[in-house]
Structure 1
Amino acid sequence: MTAPLLELENVAKIYPTGSGQLHAVDGVSLTISRGESLGLVGESGCGKSTLVRVLSRLIDPTTGAIRIDGQSIGDIPARRFGTHAERKRIQVVFQDPTDSLNPQFRIFDSIADPLRRLGGRKTRTEVTEAVHEAARITRLPPELLSRYPHQLSGGQKARVGIARAIILRPELLILDEPTSALDVSVQVVILQLLGELRETLGMSYLFVSHDLNVVKLVCDRVAVMYLGKIIECAPVKDIFERPAHPYTKALLSAIPGAAEMERVRLDGEPRSPIDPDPNVCRFYGRCPMGQELCAQTAPPLIEHGGHAAACHFRLNQKDLPA
């Protein structure tokens, strides 16, 4: 079996607060294979953005291991990782293309910046050729390279963000809501471009999104996050056709036009992420299937046939192997 490109093992990010410890990410274990696109979904505040910042080494994990190709990168301090040789293997396309571009940089320099910092000693000719190649494969017209970000449309700025991220030919591209700030028609074009780049350059994706329809189109597997934990992970078809966790089913039933699925209504309020009881299921109190057992023993994430779920009363029990 081929070793995964990226491994997260029991990764946690805990912030001290005046009233206790906030568990933004709590014991997350995930893998991403070479060439795979993994979707990460969950409601706002579940820890997706914090997990992205941890695994891209923008912030340090509190505990846990992060490995790329078996080599640990989680123990490299975030303040040093920005100039570390391993940085070029992981790049990020940020949610807002406007905020992520330096308004004082021309587009050429925005795309060239990672190459100048991490690409080793390059001549001016080599940098120019690399920038024009990145612009070409992201379909960014060369006449835009001399402009500033405020002179570009939202779709054009999105292409700049992608070109800047791929100029180093990373092995893993983290896409943090890359189309959420764009018009629907532009979203389609950018998603098609990302699909072509993944195939052409052989990159792996971590695709973070609130839009489950987009995840269904571009991802091979989906990980569902709730209050800092992964509560389900499976191939995209299984997630959409046979969700095993009640929370996942509730998310899917909320998709506009999901008339064929019974609407799942969640009552109550989410549990506090500050000093959560490790013996209580994070979804207890909102779960329509919750019972006393859920308040006494937190369910582990258990895999059956490539479909992992953390639920004592897992849906589709009849489909599990004996």
Structure 2
Amino acid sequence: MTALLEVRSLSKFYPIKRAGKGAKLHAVDDVSLTISAGESVGLVGESGCGKSTMVRLLGRLIDPTAGQVLMEGEDLTAITQAKFASSPHRRRIQVVFQDATESLNPSFRAFQAIADPLKRLLGLSDSAEIASRVHATAALVGLPDELLQRYPHQLSGGQRARVGIARAVAVEPSLLILDEPTSALDVSAQAVILRLLADLRARLSMSYLFVSHDLNVVRLLCSRVVVMYLGKIVEIAPAEALFTAPRHPYTQALVAAIPDPARRGEARPRLDGSPASPINPDPNVCRFYGRCPKAADLCASAMPPLRAVGPDHFAACHFAVSPAGGNDER
């Protein structure tokens, strides 16, 4: 597949004055990945792993410390975050935020919320054309016309989520970044919104970056999964391979933690200890060292590179476990 978005050695460090001179929090550290046209990629990991910072970097809401984000070969990071808001590339990458209540302007009716990006990003000014586009987009996401004149506080959680999605897809983006889009909804509303997202991707041929802590949702919607830990990518694999034969010990623990009645009573991997500090981490020590059940002296002296361990399957571990259960020490 053709690469729509290519991320090259992307990093974002934040100075931490209270930790001393030169102290920096490594929120995202030397991350590289690609998203192909029409592909749905999942991004998973614990809180604090760098997922939200990746959303802001790829959505060009913040500038990186280093690295590049290229869309079809054009370097988007050459445009500063301040100028990117008025760039013609802005409409091509849209973000659906975690909490629609917080991300929607409380003084905008649903109609205005959907119309605003049409005016700002597509430059539409004809009232009839804008209204036509708003009503068509609302119908696309299953939002009844009678709700378009309501303010966010007059809508249910699921209805607000639909407005947030409609606002993003109205400008026909190439990449839709979904940052935990169902986490603020109840279970029944989650199921409806997830079905809507699956349908929209098929109908509009968009690429998705689906950020979530819910691995069952990721398995349902994504064809490939990226796993992050403390700012680093530790595994990338096709979804089926990752869920049936994870190769990194951290991914194995994540998959084992998925509730499954069929595995009741089985021994599961346990992660003892606490994550290492993301402030000035030692570049020669594996980020997972100290919690990893397979940790060895090598892990404390050499950062494992992200390398191929199977077809389209990559893991950053010196001792990536093979599907058969042996060690892969290539």
TM-score tier after normalising by the smaller chain length: over 0.9
1:84 aligns with 2:87: yes
Q: Give the letter aligned to residue 313 of structure 1.
A: F
TM-score relative to the length of structure 2: 0.95
> Which residue of structure 2 lines up, in the alignment, with residue 266 of structure 1?
271
**TM-score under structure 1 length normalisation:** 0.97
Q: Percent identity?
A: 60
2:26 is aligned, of 23, 26, 31, to: 23
User: Any idea what the Cα deviations from partners look like across 1:8-27, whole Å, max 9, x if unmatched?
Assistant: 00000001112211100000
Distance 1:262 1:306, change over 3 A: farther
Give the match's secondary structure for 2:148: helix
Report 1:192-203 matches (<5 A): 192-203=195-206
Q: Please, which of 205, 218, 227 is the counterpart of residue 230 of structure 2?
A: 227
For 1:214 and 1:274, the matched residues in 2 are separated by 31
Partner residue of 1:293 out of 298, 306, 313: 298
Note if 1:64 corresponds to 2:67.
Answer: yes
Matching residue of 1:315 = 321
Partner-residue secondary structure (3-state), 2:103: coil
For 2:119, what is the secondary structure of its paired residue?
Answer: helix
Say whether the 8 Å CA contact 2:110–2:163 is kept in structure 1.
Answer: yes
1:15 alignment partner AA: Y
Name the residue aligned to 2:221. 218
Match of 1:140 among 131, 140, 143: 143
Structure 1: gaps spanning 5 or more residues: none
Report the RMSD for the aligned CA atoms in angstroms: 1.5
Question: Are the aligned partners of 1:253 and 1:262 in contact in 2 as well (CA < 8 Å)?
Answer: no
Q: In the TM superposition, what whole-angstrom CA distance separates every residue of 1:37-82 from its partner, at most 9, and x where no partner exists?
A: 0000000000000011001000000000100111110121111111
Q: 1:207 corresponds to which letter in structure 2?
A: F
Q: Contact 1:252/1:258 (CA < 8 Å) preserved in 2?
A: no
Displacement of 1:259 in angstroms is 4.9
Amino acid at match of 2:288: F
Corresponding residue for residue 284 of structure 2: 279
Does the 8 Å CA contact 2:319/2:329 hold for their aligned counterparts? no
Q: 1:12 is matched with which residue?
A: 11
Aligned residues: 321
Does structure 1 retain, via aligned residues, the 8 Å contact 2:118–2:124? Answer: no
Question: Could you tell me which residue of structure 1 aligns to residue 209 of structure 2?
Answer: 206
Find out whether 1:128 has 2:131 as its counterpart.
yes
Q: Give the 3 Å change call, closer, same or farther, for CA 121–112 of structure 1 in structure 2.
A: closer
Shift of 1:305: 1.6
